[in-house]
């Protein structure tokens, strides 16, 4: 084995490396890398801000949905209270309606089935 000199260690790679201190050639490359990294960080910051804004909006809409569901349930309870049999009977009597008499039915051939009767008068009228 022969001792190798430090400059002759890999002779094929020696041609690929720049020979000398050419820092002027590296300056545009370094600036390009810095600009790319800076713009990437800025884009990441803007993306993060947009995601956070979306998260806050989602939270606000979730709270609004909860409030609207609570309001819907309260309104549904009101509707249920007004549409119950007792409430309908009371409201009908307030409007002057009385329960009907025995109904009569018309058959498809035009005959009347049953004996119709008028509604009874409400006591106290």
The DSSP secondary-structure symbol of 73 reads: H
CB of 117 closer than 8 Å to CB of 101: yes
pLDDT in tens, 21-57: 566 678 889 999 999 999 999 999 999 999 999 999 9
Per-position b or e across 14-30, b if 16+ CB within 10 A of its CB = eeeeeeeeeeeeeeeee
Confidence of residue 116 (pLDDT cuts 50, 70, 90): confident
Contacts of 58 (CB under 8 A, 6+ apart): none
Task: Please give the backbone phi and psi of residue 16, each rounded to the nearest 5 degrees, phi first.
Answer: -80, -30
Using alpha carbons only, what angle is made at residue 76 by residues 60 and 64, rounded to the nearest 5 degrees? 5
CB of 102 closer than 8 Å to CB of 116: yes
pLDDT attached to residue 1: 52
Least confident piece of the model among 9-23, 35-49, 108-122 = 9-23
pLDDT in tens, 68-108: 999 999 999 999 998 989 998 999 989 988 888 788 899 99
Task: Please give the backbone phi and psi of residue 68, each rounded to the nearest 5 degrees, phi first.
Answer: -70, -35
pLDDT of 124 > 60? The answer is no
Task: Please give the backbone phi and psi of residue 112, each rounded to the nearest 5 degrees, phi first.
Answer: -100, 130
pTM strictly above 0.85? no
pLDDT attached to residue 34: 95
pLDDT of 8 > 80? The answer is no
């Amino acid at each position: 084995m022969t001792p190798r000199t430090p400059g002759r260690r890999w002779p094929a790679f020696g041609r690929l490396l720049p020979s000398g201190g050419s820092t002027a050639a590296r300056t545009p490359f370094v600036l390009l890398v810095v600009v790319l990294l800076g713009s990437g960080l800025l884009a990441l910051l803007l993306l993060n801000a947009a995601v956070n804004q979306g998260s806050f909006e989602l939270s606000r809409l979730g709270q609004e949905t909860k409030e609207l569901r609570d309001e819907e349930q309260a309104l549904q309870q009101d509707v249920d209270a007004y549409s119950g049999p007792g409430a309908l009977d009371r409201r009908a009597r307030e409007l002057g309606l009385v329960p009907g008499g025995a109904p009569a039915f018309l058959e498809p051939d035009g005959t009347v089935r049953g004996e119709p009767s008028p509604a009874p008068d409400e006591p106290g009228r």
